[in-house]
Amino acid sequence: MSEQVRNITFRQGVKDCIPTLLGYISIGIAAGVAGVAADLSVLEVTLLAIFIYAGAAQFIICAMLLTNSTTLAIIVTTFIVNFRHFLLGATLAPHFQKDSMLKNIGISLLITDESFGVAAMKLAKKEPIYASWMNGLNITAYLVWISSCALGGLIGKMIPNPTVFGLDFALTAMFVALFVFQLQSVPKSKLRHILFLILYMIIFMIGLSFFCFHKCCCCFINANCCYYWGGD
């Protein structure tokens, strides 16, 4: 079996998901703890993981429950936070045109920021992705997330503050790792420009937090002018 064919199997999708599982487990446990803190039962925490399947949205839902927000406000907020999944699915859809609509719906329903990052990294290396591989990636992450949230609900009373154990940083660390892996596939000629753009965005965000908006816009425009006029 060739290397290219091996890389598109369901089993390979499971293997490619393994590096992200630590983040899923850590954040899932933290989400379960947050659910218990919001007076949800373990069953409700598990159902939330099954039907919502979005770490950020689950934390927001728990926070809004604690503030006695209305059902409509929770639904609208969750929709807005998860709206990016439409874009993630639309980006990957062209690679599954030969598959049925049902398979495309299944892939889109289970796609996450992390699984999209793994798929994007594979595409950046000019490697094909197929439904079998994507299903292995998505289903593994989905099952681990549900299990982790349920476990977090069970031990919620034992860990009232997940930040003590650094669980709140696990998701950030996972995204940093995915970003570093993706940079490895970027040609050296483009790497310098990408890093400069990241630096400019950091400067822009810092400026936005300390200065008024129009001054920060001027700084951002000047930085981009320096980049385009002074770059190679």
Domain ranges for the chain? 3-183, 188-230
Q: Kindly report whether the global pTM for this prediction surpasses the value 0.75.
A: no
* Confidence (pLDDT) at 194: 75
Q: What integer pLDDT is reported at residue 147 of this predicted model?
A: 95
For 172-230, the pLDDT digits (tens) are 565 565 566 566 656 667 777 777 777 877 787 777 666 544 554 554 454 444 444 44
The pLDDT value recorded for residue 141 is 94
* Tens-digit pLDDT profile for residues 83-139: 888 888 888 988 888 888 888 888 988 998 889 988 988 888 888 888 889 999 999
Side chain identity at 169, as an amino acid letter?
Answer: F
Per DSSP, the chain holds a count of helices (H) and strands (E) of 12, 0
Closest CA to 37 of 11, 59, 70: 59
Cβ-contact 114, 20 below 8 angstroms = yes
Specify the pLDDT at position 80. 86
Give the pLDDT band of residue 60 (cuts 50, 70, 90).
confident
Measured CA to CA, the distance from residue 43 to residue 223 in angstroms comes to 51
- Contact (Cβ atoms closer than 8 angstroms) between residue 34 and residue 62: yes
CB-based contact 137:17 (threshold 8 Å): yes
